[in-house]
């Protein structure tokens, strides 16, 4: 049985998308931000809470650039303690369904904006 804090985290908005995306491979904040439908501030909070709870891991690598500068790259992944979740998510249709939902939401927004544009043109 899950603790209340972890259950609240897992059922909060956007965490399903974060876990689904991370079930494929580790990803940076920018990669997650590009693919998840929550604000960057909310994403940052969800990632921090996931790391604090032990569900997510944060890995920082340093890469030496051609100009000699050191660039840090932070990636998030599902923690090894939750490897069975990662496997279950990968084997399920969760990521596919989330991506389909995003696609439908984008189509709905496009259609709605087109209706607004057409209706306002008729009024003017």
- The mean-pLDDT minimum among 37-41, 79-83, 95-99, 108-112 falls in 95-99
CA–CA distance, 111 with 67 (Å, rounded to integer): 47
The per-residue pLDDT for range 62-89, each reduced to its tens digit, is 888 788 888 888 999 999 998 888 888 8
Do residues 66 and 112 share a domain?
Answer: no
Could you tell me the residue range of the domain that residue 104 belongs to? 93-124
pLDDT score of 119 more than 80: no
Do residues 74 and 19 share a domain?
Answer: yes
Q: Where are the beta strands (DSSP E) in the chain?
A: 27-28, 56-64, 70-78
Six token digits for residue 94: 């969760």
The per-residue pLDDT for range 20-35, each reduced to its tens digit, is 999 989 999 999 999 8
CATH number at residue 52: 1.10.10.10
Do residues 86 and 50 share a domain?
Answer: yes
Count of domains forming the chain: 2
Do residues 120 and 69 share a domain?
Answer: no
Do residues 104 and 56 share a domain?
Answer: no
Do residues 99 and 85 share a domain?
Answer: no
Do residues 117 and 71 share a domain?
Answer: no
| pTM score over 0.95 | no
Q: How far is CA 67 from CA 60, 64, 70, 91, 109, in A?
A: 20, 8, 9, 43, 44
Q: Is the distance from CB of 18 to CB of 29 less than 8 angstroms?
A: no
Helix (DSSP H) and strand (DSSP E) numbers for the chain: 6, 3
Six token digits for residue 16: 């399903």
Do residues 74 and 27 share a domain?
Answer: yes
Do residues 115 and 85 share a domain?
Answer: no
């Amino acid at each position: 049985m899950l603790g209340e804090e972890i259950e609240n985290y897992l059922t909060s908005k956007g965490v399903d998308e974060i876990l689904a995306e991370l079930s494929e491979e580790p990803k940076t904040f920018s990669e997650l931000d590009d693919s998840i439908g929550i604000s960057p501030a909310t994403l940052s909070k969800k990632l921090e809470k996931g790391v604090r709870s032990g569900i997510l891991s944060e890995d920082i690598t340093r890469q030496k650039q051609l100009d000699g500068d050191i660039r840090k790259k932070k990636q998030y992944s599902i923690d090894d303690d939750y490897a069975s979740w990662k496997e279950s998510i990968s084997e399920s249709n969760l990521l596919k369904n989330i991506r389909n939902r995003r696609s439908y939401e984008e189509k709905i927004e496009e259609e709605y904006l087109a209706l607004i544009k057409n209706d306002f043109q008729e009024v003017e």
